[in-house]
């Protein structure tokens, strides 16, 4: 039986969203899929007792994500396909953009990222868990890796390509020379991040180059004095997680990309401006950043650990 929206406020929002997607030509070839998908979300909110969109938080967003994973197909056996779940999350992102543009909400909420097998919410570390990982680092390279992956939100490929010249301690900026889409960006470093990167350079990186080529440009180098690969760096992170001896952390299967998701989530929770988050993460599409949407335009300090 097809569900209908009961709350007048939600009916109004659904009508506004219908106009929103029509104006942007999102509905081409999709019929009423956008509206039906939003209706399912809004009726789900009603069923759990939420009738005001301002009451929706990250907690409800993650619960809805879990609902989608377990939801049976309307036709046939089994649960929703990955493609269907991806579409549901995409519609939620568009709906959030619509809410922000119409000033229906003061603060946004996190929508789980999806990438070829959904990014499970459990793979986002809390600030306290980040602190635990840092406290169990055994050397300066581990601290530096945590600093650029979490503290600067870099992608694994960006960390791998990082050169010594890209760490500009005088200006407090980290330069990503070729990010996704070959785009250059400057990432502000907190005092904490700069402290750990400087210590790695002076106390460990330089030591690894003793008796080897001093011309190596890579920021992260292996024991042979050569550029560390992305696989090397993920292995180092895995070792760092195991050093915590925290079962709840180890079972999360944390990767460098999980740390990037974590800082995005924490920036959102701390009301960093949407423009800052977009620039910080290197998103070319504003809709991607709206997944971590918030209203406050004022730049806030990056979460430290």
Give the gyration radius of the chain's Cα atoms: 22
CB under 8 Å to 257, separation ≥6 — which residues?
A: 155, 156
Active-site position among 257, 261, 265, 290: 257
Question: How would you classify residue 80: left for phi > 0, otherwise alpha for psi between -120 and 50, otherwise beta?
Answer: beta
Question: Is there a catalytic annotation at residue 257?
Answer: yes
> In angstroms, rounded to a whole number, what is the distance separating the alpha carbons of residues 266 and 126?
8
Q: How many angstroms from the chain centroid is the CA of residue 171?
A: 26
3-state secondary structure of 40: helix
CA distance 18 to 25: 11
**Closest by alpha carbon to 193, among 245, 248, 259?**
259
Q: Would you call 260 a catalytic residue per the annotation?
A: yes
Assess whether 283 carries a catalytic annotation: yes
Tell me, yes or no, if 75 is annotated catalytic: no
Closest CA to 119 of 294, 264, 301: 264
Tokens coding 259 = 């740390």
Is 88 an annotated catalytic residue? Answer: no
Out of 88, 156, 185, 260, pick the active-site residue.
260
Neighbours of 182 (CB within 10 A): 7
Residue in 63, 180, 208, 246 annotated catalytic: 180
With b for 16 or more beta-carbon neighbours within 10 A and e for fewer, the 262-290 pattern comes to: bbbbbbbbeebbbebbbbbbbbeeeeebb
- Per the residue annotation, which of 34, 110, 150, 155 is the catalytic one? 155
Q: Report residue 130 as tokens.
A: 């980040």
Question: Of 150, 261, 283, 290, which one is the catalytic site residue?
Answer: 283
167-168: strand order across its sheet: 167-168, 173-176, 185-188
261 is catalytic: no
Catalytic residues: 155, 180, 257, 260, 283, 292
């Amino acid at each position: 039986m097809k569900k209908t929206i009961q709350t007048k406020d939600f009916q109004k929002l659904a009508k506004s969203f219908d106009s929103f997607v029509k104006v942007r030509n999102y509905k081409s070839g999709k019929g009423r899929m956008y509206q039906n998908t939003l209706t399912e979300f809004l009726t789900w909110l009603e069923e759990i007792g939420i009738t005001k969109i301002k009451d929706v938080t990250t907690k409800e967003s993650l619960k809805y994500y879990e609902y989608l994973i377990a939801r049976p197909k309307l036709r046939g056996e089994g649960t929703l396909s990955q493609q269907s779940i991806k579409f549901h999350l995409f519609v939620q992102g568009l709906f959030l953009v619509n809410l922000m543009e119409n000033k229906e909400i003061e603060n946004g909420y996190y929508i789980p990222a999806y990438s070829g097998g959904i990014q499970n919410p459990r793979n986002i570390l809390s600030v306290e868990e980040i602190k635990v990982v840092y406290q169990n680092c055994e050397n300066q390279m581990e601290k530096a890796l945590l600093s650029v992956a979490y503290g600067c939100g870099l992608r694994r490929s960006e960390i791998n390509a990082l050169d010594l010249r890209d760490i500009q301690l005088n200006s407090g900026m980290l330069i990503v020379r070729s990010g996704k889409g070959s785009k250059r960006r400057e990432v502000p470093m907190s005092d904490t991040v700069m402290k750990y990167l400087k210590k790695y350079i002076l106390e460990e990186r330089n030591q690894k180059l003793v008796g080897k080529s001093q011309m190596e440009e890579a920021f992260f180098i292996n024991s042979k004095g050569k550029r560390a690969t992305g696989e090397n760096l993920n292995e180092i992170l895995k070792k760092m997680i195991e050093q915590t001896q925290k079962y709840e952390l180890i079972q999360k299967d944390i990767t460098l990309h999980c740390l990037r998701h974590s800082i995005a989530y924490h920036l959102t929770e701390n009301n960093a401006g949407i423009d800052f988050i977009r620039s910080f993460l290197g998103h070319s599409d504003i809709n991607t950043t709206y997944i971590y949407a918030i209203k406050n335009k004022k730049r806030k300090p990056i979460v430290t650990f």
